[in-house]
């Protein structure tokens, strides 16, 4: 099998570190790994397959100098805006994990289980966008159901872990929890506008003029682009005091009457989705189950009391893996398949 020169921009960050771990776990065909970050991270080292590799500074020329063929970007939208075009111009396929390119018309936005055929559009710009973490797990569930039963409307409430705010988010929760347990006053809320320990915050990203947050609008618009659909979606996104893995309560209205049994059957056969829905034995998806895995877990599947065309369910996925790094690697794997076909 052909091997590739792979760069990771943001190699010292949480998603970058997870990318490196997944590439190693899956024995991704790498001839040379090029970890990149900002100037302050230069000379730090990352570990890959029992070797230490020095981080280099992200520059416009580094991609051509190193002969990079696949470039994963996970260092923030401003970095992707500045450097991703240079990587693409140097001949690399860019797989971008920020929001910067997602809704641009000529950029494919991909969840491989849902719209892998869109990867073929990468040549227009050299860039493939990785969706928002909460969007990815939701469309993995919605797509097979839409294909089978035709969705008319979705209402989702998210319960998003603090790791969605990066390392600073996790540090904030741990520090505040310790302070509260020691009866200390919390002076610094860290990554959040209010204390997050023993609390929840119905506010992720900035508020827009229509009173939705940017995170909620991402879920709406990205889902429609990925699924090539136009059914109604509304989202409410909430930050909760969980370290890792996002949860979502989803209500789905279909064109016709459906049953919970029918939904379970479809999702049981969906790619990278696992149904845990055994209420007799008190088994259902939770963040503690999803963390450090590459599956999206679904349970609490039940019919609406009043509408025979509506189903409610609960899904959980590790948003650093499924919602970011794993999805990016799966995009790269599909891109290689297309390249070699």
Q: What is the set of active-site residues?
A: 133, 246
Greatest alpha-carbon pair distance for the chain in Å reads 63
- Residues 6 or more apart in contact with residue 156 via CB below 8 angstroms: 138, 219, 233, 234, 235, 236, 248, 249, 250, 251
Q: How far is CA 69 from the centre of its chain?
A: 23
Contacts 24+ apart (CB under 8 A), 229-235: 229/146, 229/151, 231/146, 231/151, 231/152, 231/153, 231/154, 232/152, 232/153, 232/154, 233/153, 233/154, 233/155, 233/156, 234/154, 234/155, 234/156, 235/155, 235/156, 235/157, 235/158
- Residues 6 or more apart in contact with residue 4 via CB below 8 angstroms: 29, 30, 31, 69, 70, 336
Locus of tokens 């877990």: 297
Q: How far is CA 257 from the centre of its chain?
A: 31
What is the C-alpha to C-alpha distance for residues 237 and 153, in angstroms, rounded to an integer?
A: 17
Q: Which of 107, 38, 47, 83 is nearest to 331 (CA)?
A: 107
């Amino acid at each position: 099998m052909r091997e590739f020169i792979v760069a990771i921009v943001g190699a010292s960050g949480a998603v970058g570190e997870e990318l490196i771990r997944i590439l190693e776990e899956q024995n991704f065909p790498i001839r040379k790994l090029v970890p990149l970050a900002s100037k302050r991270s230069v000379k730090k080292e990352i570990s890959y397959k029992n070797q230490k590799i020095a981080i280099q500074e992200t520059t416009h020329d580094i991609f051509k100098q190193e002969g990079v063929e696949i470039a994963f970007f996970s260092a923030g939208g401003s970095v992707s805006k500045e450097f991703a075009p240079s990587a693409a111009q140097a001949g690399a396929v860019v797989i971008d994990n920020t929001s910067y390119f997602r809704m641009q018309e000529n950029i494919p936005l991909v969840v491989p289980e849902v719209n892998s055929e869109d990867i073929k559009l990468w040549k227009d710009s050299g860039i493939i966008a990785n969706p928002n973490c909460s969007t990815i797990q939701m469309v993995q569930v919605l797509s097979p159901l839409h294909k089978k039963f035709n969705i008319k409307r979705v209402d989702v409430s998210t319960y998003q872990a603090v790791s969605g705010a990066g390392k600073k988010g996790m540090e904030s929760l741990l520090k505040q929890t310790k302070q509260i347990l020691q009866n200390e006053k919390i002076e610094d809320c860290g990554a959040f506008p209010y204390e997050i320990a023993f609390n929840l915050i119905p506010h992720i990203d900035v508020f827009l003029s229509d009173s939705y947050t940017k995170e909620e609008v991402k879920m709406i618009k990205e889902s429609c682009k990925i699924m090539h659909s136009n059914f109604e979606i509304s989202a409410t996104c909430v930050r909760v005091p969980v370290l890792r893995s996002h949860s979502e309560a989803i209500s789905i209205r279909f064109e016709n009457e459906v049953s919970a049994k029918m939904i379970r059957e479809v999702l049981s056969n969906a790619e990278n989705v696992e149904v845990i829905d055994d209420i007799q034995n008190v088994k259902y998806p939770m963040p503690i189950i999803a963390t450090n895995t590459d599956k999206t877990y679904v349970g609490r599947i039940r019919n609406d009391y009043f509408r025979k065309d509506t189903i409610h369910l609960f899904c959980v996925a590790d948003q650093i893996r499924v919602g970011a790094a794993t999805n990016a690697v799966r995009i790269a794997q599909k891109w290689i398949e297309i390249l070699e076909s």
